[in-house]
Structure formats: structure tokens, C-alpha cells
Structure 1
């Protein structure tokens, strides 16, 4: 036998009636004032419609955020906000005279039993489901004032600005409002006193909340002159806790600069200088990898520390090439050209001698013999080698000065500092 919908409904009604009639005397419906008030308020109450007797009237909803916890993922560019949201409005159908109900001036009601405003986050993270409905216990006053304070978690999108990483600050903004209703139907606004409360706030990992700025956007558009779509704008100003990233990236970047400059001051007689310069170049690649693991791969802003490491790597590569060239010059025994001898004489006898920062050891072994002046051939080779070494000293000092100037400019331009 097939039962239609009307038959099923009738059976359910009869079943409930039997249950009500079968209750023992001590389990009858509550007859005290609070129970009677609750039943009278919800009698013929419709929670799907705005609680106004005139449909042209608007419902003003006051909003207050009591922040509890904030987490920000700069890699995924998501901003998570945990807070208690206080919402207050007037419900014209939830009013009573306290004298009629034992002088009860306020009562608690569940949010699913009454009308509650739907406050949506417009720039929400679409990958996470976020309900705009309230699920909490609300306080209802005799004049119809309803106050709900649910614990809500919001997840929004926040574009990351990494130019001054790791000493960067981020401004994350959230926009709240009614998803479908206009401002003439539901008017969201702030509490006059303390629209944002930070008394019990705790900073999330890696970030410090500097301040919160709230603003109400009227939502007036030229397309809809007779309607408005107001929004509540909250801007959260965060500062990164940079002690960890600075210890891993910033300080070592300065150390490898010192290694590169130190290598330019060493003698080229052995391979110590070349090994130190190559180690500095390898360190640059390590820091580039470390920075790449800590920042978004497709960020629109390039961290200036990344530009510093890039340019410093070029300077270190020049230092390596200079070392190889000077090692080749130092071993030359061919007679130098006349201009080279003239330049060496001018530098040695003029003010240029004060800019020579390096003095390479002139001793060398040629064909298994130490350069001496015992024979005319060895003496000529010694003089030729001395001229080439003087040229190497001059060229190396020039490279050192240029590298020092370049690093001073890079440090002043690209190394971020904590404000």
C-alpha cells in the first residue's frame, strides 16, 4: 500500500497527539512565566522574514568585533580571523510587557528560532566553506532588542607585499555586509563605543598586530541611485616577527659580502683566495634557495633582499674572474709593453701609490728555479715579473675599490632594516 503525503502528515500529527496525551502529570508543558513568554513570542513567528511590521523600514544591525586570534599565511596569501562578533538589532515581533510575565525583562532564545542577520565576508577564501548564519544563544530584551555574540572564524584573501621582506608589514582588509539585502532593508553599522575590542587578543605565529582601522562604506553606485549596498571595512595592520628570517638570511648575506671583499685583499700566490671567493659564490646560491622557500613563488613584489643577493653574486663572480686573471698575469715573464712600465712608474712615484691596497709577494718559481739576480737571464725575468706584479697590484686595488663602492650602494639600497 502506498501512502501519500497527506496521509503521512496525518499519522505524524496523531502520533504527536498521543505522546502529548500520554505524558505523566509531572511532565506536562511548562506553565511558569518564562515558558509561557517563550511560547507566546514564537507563536506565529516567522524567522524567514525581516522583523519589521512595515516592509519599507530597515533593520539597523550594530556590529562589534572582539578579536581573539589572527593567523596569516603569506605563502598562500590567506588571512584567518577568529573573533566574537556582537550583533544587536531591534525585532518588532519580540516585544512584551514585563508585568504580564512575572516582571521578566529579558530572556534567552536560540538563534535558529528567530530571525538573525546574515553577515557575509565579500573577499572570503572560496576554497573554504564559510556560513553566514548564526548558531548561538541570543539575549532578547522586552523592548525587542536582540543581542547575539557568536564565535566566528573568517578566512579571507590578503594580497602580500614582500618588497621589504623580512621586515615587511601587511595590510589585510575584510569587507562585511549583507549578501542580497540592500542598505534600505538591512543597515549594518558599528557600535558607537569600541567597535573593535582587543582586550583578549593573542598574536598568531610570526606576526604582530599593530592596529585595526574600521570604516563604513556607504555602497552608493551610479547604477542604483535609489538603493545602497553598505559594507563594513576592517583593515588589519600586521608586522612580521623578523628575528628568525633575519638570522637565516639577512645577517649571512652581509657575512658573504665580507668574504668577497676579504678575498680581494688576499695574495694570489696560493689558492686560498680563489677557494674563498668560490665559497662566497656558493653561499649566494644557498641564500637564494632559502629565500625562495620562504616567499611566494608568484609574488608581484620582488623582495629587495633578493635583488641584493643577485647583484652581490655578480660582484663575487667578477672577483673570481679577476683572481684567475691576476694569477695568469703574475706568472708572465714576457717583457711588458712600454706603456705598462710607464704606468707603473707614475703610480709608484705619484699619489697613486696611496691607493694600492694589496701587495703581492714577488717571489716565484720559474722552471724550477727561484728568481734571483745571479744571471743576466734570471735578472731580466725578475724585472719583467716585477712589472707584471705591479700591474696586478694596481688592477686588484682598482677592483677592490669598485667592489667596495658597489657593496656600499647595495647595502644602503637593498638591505631592509627594521623600522
Structure 2
């Protein structure tokens, strides 16, 4: 053997020894004898349950659709368990404490999202790595975009708070074989606290325990979101309030302008459009009706009543002037208008004649005018009440009436919407 061949052999042996050390040696130690079976639960004593610890981190809230009652979340789920067949002594392998393996190489619990609205698939991908520690502890961190159901309680829209949950279940195992536990009682949030018009105000995690005392294989991860209402206040709520009060201004508009009917119909159509907009942003749910939806409906109903009253007023205004006005309407016109009643102040002069020293108002003998007696008196002169006066009185009455009704409804609805109260569990349904 030549010197060059000897050198090449030594170099090959060195490289082979280098590649066969460390991680490769651990790989050969764990999988080289083909005794590891990823289809079998990794316990040496079959009566011992495999404890799977879970933690959840929310990366972003992509979208919350109240109409479809679904929520999109980007989340990272971390699973931890012990594989008794993946253990080694670090001192025998250059003090290597952990290695990375593809998730298809090791046993892992088949865990899926129970309340998902998409097709059930296994978490993670084939190329996703798991971390295996020397003591057999396995760490698996799949990151997924979850789309789950979330029953929306829209009674206080747009001042509402929603509670959504993700329910994880280990399929194919009983509670005595696989026990799922949450490492923490809350969900970590890696975002900035608010996204997609919502603010996460509270999170929680809990394990469901069955009635018979055995640990069930369900983990419920819940998060409470509060809506940021500024957009809806500026673009929906305030325009509706302004339109509802603008509708009352029809009673300030005189009939002779010829615009009363067109004005009230225009406002009614605008409210009908907003009613459609609000209904389109809310789920078709008869159990929980939005207070804003109720407010728009009441405003639309009042607009219909105002339109009917306005049409009747126009009819009365153009009645035949020769038709007599009933006494009750005359009294109402005198009471609610200032033009049908006039008060005056004047003087009355009295002339007295006398004849032969005797006072007489009939004798013409020796008639003499005595000094005038003047005094002040008030008189009540009522103008003739016509149908235009009646319409003007109706304007004053209905202006005050509908103003009070509108103020009352607006204050009550707003107070109920912003009232701080706990969410009712039955409003969200059972997950």
C-alpha cells in the first residue's frame, strides 16, 4: 500500500469516526436496533398512563366573524410528555442533552381541535421537528391557524364582550391511558394585546374531569375579547341617533313650504338603510338580539308614525276653509299656539247727560257733557281658528311628544349597552 493510499484511509477513518460520534451515535443507539415502535404508547409499564402537558400561545387574532360565529386564530400549541424508550446518558455521548427529530419518527398523541369548522387534520407537518431530551421528555410545538366556532352574544353590540374557546381532544385513548393536563391556567399572548378590532382582556385554560372521577382527555382554552367600538360609534351609532332626532324637525318645517312629506320619507329611507347595515353585521340569532338593532327598529317605527302624522296634517291644512273647526280643536289651537289669542289694553269714555239737575241718559233738555270718565280695561280677543292654526298646534304637540320619546329611548338603550355586567355562560352555548 502506497503512502498516499495510507493517508487516504486514515482520513476516511477520521471522517467516519467524526460522523459516527455525537448525534449519530445517539440516533444509532435509539433507532439502530429497530426496536422502537412509534405506534405503541411509550411506557414500559402498560398500566402507567402517559401524561401530556399542554400550553397555548396566541400569536394573532386574524378575524372574528359574528355573522358566521367563527374566529380565526394563529396559535402555537406546546405538548410535553415522557417517552421511556428515548432515553440516554449524556456522558456516554459527548454530553449531548437533546436531539431534534421529525415528528413522524416518534410516538405522539393524536390531538385535534374538537370545535373546528374545517376538516379535522393532524397538527403539525411531517417536516416539523420535535425536541427529545436525554431523560425522555419530548417537546412538540406545532403552530397552526385555527378556525373554531364561537357563539356570539351581540346584545350589547357595539359595546359587546365575547368569550371564545378552543377544545382540544386526544382521539383514540381513554382517560386511563392518556391524561391531558394544562401547564398554566391562562393562555400566553405574543401579540400587542389587540388586533382585528378586538382587545384580549382575559384568558384561561382548564382540563375537563369526567363525572366518574377519571381525568377526561379534553383541554378547554378560552379567551375573552372586548370590541373596540370607535368605528361603529362614528359610522353607525351616531348617524342613527342624529337621523332619529332629525326626523322630528319635520314638525318645525311649515306646511306651505311643500317639503314636509318628502323630508320625512327621505329620513325614513335613510333609517331603513342603516337597519339593513346593522342587520348585515349581526348573526341571524333570535335568542340574542342587539340593542342597537332594537334602537334602529324603534327609530324606524317612529319615523313611520311621523310620516303618517305628517300626511294627515297636510290633509288638514288643505281642508275647505268653510268647514267648521270642532270646539275641541279650537281649544287645542288656543292652548298650543300664540297666534290665535290676542290680549289688548284701551280706554273707555262715558258721556252722561242731565236735565234740570236730574241725571238722564235719554232726555235732550239742557244736555251737558260732564267730564269724561276714563279707565283701563283688558279684553280677550280670540282670532278665528282655522285649519292652518290647528295644524300649527299639532306641530307643537308632536314636536314635544316625539322629542321626549326619542330622548328616553336613546338614553335607555345607551345605558343598557354600556352597562358593565358579567357574561352569562348560557349566552355563549356549550362548547
Name the TM tier (shorter chain). 0.7 to 0.9
1:243–1:344 CA distance, 2 compared to 1 (3 A): closer
Deviates more, 1:249-258 or 1:321-330: 321-330
1:45 to partner: Cα distance? 0.4
Q: For residues 105-124 of structure 1, what are the structure 2 equivalents within 5 Å?
A: 105-124=97-116
Q: CA RMSD in A?
A: 2.8
- For 1:18, the equivalent position in structure 2 comes to none
Larger radius of gyration: 2
TM-score by length of 1: 0.77
Distance 1:141 1:417, change over 3 A: same
The match for 2:227 is 240
Distance 2:174 2:225 in 1: 32
Aligned partner (choices 325, 345, 351) of residue 336 of structure 1: 325
Moved more, 24-33 or 204-213: 24-33
Supply the distance in 2 between the matched residues of 1:58 and 1:84 (Cα, whole angstroms).
25
Moved more, 239-248 or 30-39: 239-248
- Is the CA contact 1:63–1:195 (under 8 Å) kept in the aligned structure 2? no
CA distance in 1, matches of 2:301, 2:419: 26
Q: How many correspondences in the alignment?
A: 359
SS of residue matched to 2:61: strand
- Give the whole-Å Cα distance in 1 for the aligned partners of 2:39 and 2:215: 22
**Paired residue for 2:300, among 292, 313, 316?**
313
| Residues 1:185 and 2:172 are matched in the alignment | no
Change (3 A) 1:69 1:343: closer
Q: Which moved more, 1:253-262 or 1:391-400?
A: 391-400
- Within 5 Å, which residues of 2 pair with 1:42-61? 42=31, 43=33, 44-61=35-52
Is the counterpart of residue 63 in structure 1 residue 54 in structure 2? yes
Given candidates 249, 272, 297, the residue that maps to 2:259 is: 272
SS of the residue aligned with 2:256? coil
Q: TM-score, normalised by structure 2?
A: 0.75
Offset of residue 321 of structure 1: 2.0
After superposition, give the CA deviation of every residue in 1:181-215 in whole Å (9 maximum; x if it has no partner). 122211111225x7522234564423222221222
2-structure distance, mates of 1:102, 1:28: 16
State which drifts further: 27-36 or 393-402. Answer: 27-36
Distance 1:113 1:182 in 2: 23
Q: Note the alpha carbon deviations across 1:344-391, whole angstroms, 9 max, x for none.
A: 45x2xxxxx5xx5x979xxxxxxxxxxxxxxxxxxxxx965x343343
**Counterpart position of 2:367:** none
Q: Is the 8 A contact 1:118 1:134 kept in 2?
A: no
> Pairwise mapping of residues 9-408 of structure 1 onto structure 2 (< 5 A)?
30-42=19-31, 43=33, 44-71=35-62, 72-125=64-117, 127-132=118-123, 135=126, 136-192=128-184, 196-200=187-191, 203-218=194-209, 220-221=210-211, 225=212, 227-298=214-285, 300-332=287-319, 333=321, 334-344=323-333, 347=335, 353=336, 384=384, 386-408=385-407
CA distance in 1, matches of 2:54, 2:398: 65
1:417–1:272 distance in 2 versus 1, CA, 3 Å: farther
Gaps of 5+ in 1: 1-23, 348-352, 361-381
In the TM superposition, residue 139 of structure 1 has moved relative to its aligned partner by: 1.7
